[in-house]
Structures are given as C-alpha cells and as structure tokens.
Amino acid sequence: MAWKGVELLSKSENQPGLTRKMRIKTDGELLALFASVKTVAVVGVSATKTRASYGVFEFWCKQGVHAIPVNPKLAGQKILDREVVSCLADIGEPIDLVDVFRASEHLPALVDELLPADVGALWTQLEVRHPQAEERVLSAGIPLVVDRCPAIEVPRLRKLGYEVLFGC
C-alpha cells in the first residue's frame, strides 16, 4: 500500500501532499513529506560514527537523498565523502528538509537562519522542542515535524506495508 488514503493537497509543486502552516503528525503526512524530499541539510551532524546524528546522516545518504552535513566546527571536512558546510546560508541550492540535531535552546537561532533560506520543511529530532521557535516556523508556512527521527519513522512505515519514496 503506497498512500493508504492520503489526500494530496498541494502546497507547492515541490511539496505535494503538504499544506502551509502544518505540523506533520500522521503517517500520510510523513509519506507526503518524504515524497517531496530530494535534499536534506542535517544540522549538527557529528563526524563520530557512534553519535546518532552521524547514523541519521548515513541513513539519509542510504535513502538516495542528497544529504548535506552542516556543522560550523567541522566546516570544510568531509563526512561520508560529503563536504561539511558551516551554516544553511552556505548551501547554494533549495533545501527540501532541514533535520536538526541541536539542543532545544539552539532552535530559535536556527529558525532565524532558516526563515530567509529556501527551506521546504523542518524536522527536529527526538527531544528537540521549543514551542516559540516551532510557532515561528509554522507561522512562516513551513511544515514541521517535531520530536521524531526519520531513521525510526521510515522503517516503521515500511514495516506497516507503506512504500516510502523520496523525491517524487
């Protein structure tokens, strides 16, 4: 079962199935988001293979997604043969999804950086929450996933029988 009753409301050409000011919670909404993702910026990625951010960055790469590592302390280095950039502004292409591995208190500053960028959606990892920053993202019309992990959600959806596609 590919979409299991997902209504495809169009936010824009490159984000089918998503609407403005949307907190993404349902399986159908997640499937629609994943289908829109070709480029992911992983903010706070680590070069340490045992860190969750490294594992999720590797997960994105294995999905065939163009994953861009973002970490100012590692800028210029390579992780999985991909050059690390310092910040979102250093990415010279549209970003379909920003996946955040930063402590919650850093989310407002990241939102400041994210709002002027060409970003399709924001995903905060497990336990990364900041209600005011989340509301700013939603008010700007950027779809938002909070306190979840794509490396958990994608296998869970596939186990349920969904076909999870990226960049459709």
Within the chain, which residues score under 70 in pLDDT? 1-21
Distance CA 103, CA 89 (A): 20
Domains and CATH numbers, the chain: 27-159 (3.40.50.720)
- Of 52, 58, 34, the closest CA to residue 123 belongs to 34
The predicted structure's pLDDT at residue 118: 80
CB distance 41 to 68 below 8 Å: yes
Rg value, the chain, Cα: 15
Q: Tens digit of pLDDT for each residue in 93-121? A: 999 999 999 999 999 999 999 999 889 99
Phi-psi region of 17 (alpha: psi -120 to 50; beta: other; left: phi over 0): left
Neighbour tally for 130: CB within 10 Å: 19
The predicted structure's pLDDT at residue 134: 95
The predicted structure's pLDDT at residue 1: 29
- Of 50, 48, 88, the closest CA to residue 69 belongs to 88
Strand ranges across the sheet with 97-100: 66-70, 39-43, 97-100, 122-124, 144-145
User: Global pTM?
Assistant: 0.87
The predicted structure's pLDDT at residue 102: 93
Distance CA 14, CA 21 (A): 16
Distance CA 165, CA 168 (A): 7
The predicted structure's pLDDT at residue 20: 52
